[in-house]
Structure 1
């Protein structure tokens, strides 16, 4: 039986849902999808300057899980910036602070 899946805690949504190169309509660009938990990991580690262990604690995930999340987020940001793609931020197994999980809750399985 697979391990129960728990939602990742985030503190809010991004100020903008999409970032793209200037002067190119979004419909003409390839998109890279970053989930809300990846966005939160970037905020905690890179903007707030937290160590991975501290950031993992805030998101209610293990340190190795946080490491996988932040690595994925960094790869996606690099892909968007280096290749001139749009970066869309949405979705993922997250729970806003003070709310229940979007699709799954209380350790329900995927």
Structure 2
């Protein structure tokens, strides 16, 4: 089935960033929450939500998109 025909599971930029900080950067949740400027509880909820969404999408053949949320793009070019 073409990607364009798959049902989509949406992840927010914040959820993906929380996942990146914990799973790729190996930060503790408290440190990662501080870095993101949110409470540890809000961070924990983001991690739980994004992991469930990803597991659901992977096990049910859904597409994953990253969108929404409040974020800033940093440009490394000077």
State the TM-score bracket (shorter-chain normalisation): 0.7 to 0.9
**How many residues are aligned here?**
74
1:36 aligns with 2:13: yes
Cα distance in 2 for partners of 1:45, 1:60 equals 15
| Matched ranges for 1:13-92 at <5 A | 24-92=1-69
RMSD: 1.3
Unaligned runs of 5+ in 1: 1-23, 99-110
When the two structures are superposed, what TM-score results if normalisation uses the length of structure 2?
A: 0.88
Q: Which has the higher helix share?
A: 2
Cα distance in 1 for partners of 2:10, 2:35 equals 23
When the two structures are superposed, what TM-score results if normalisation uses the length of structure 1?
A: 0.63
| Secondary structure of 1:61 counterpart | coil
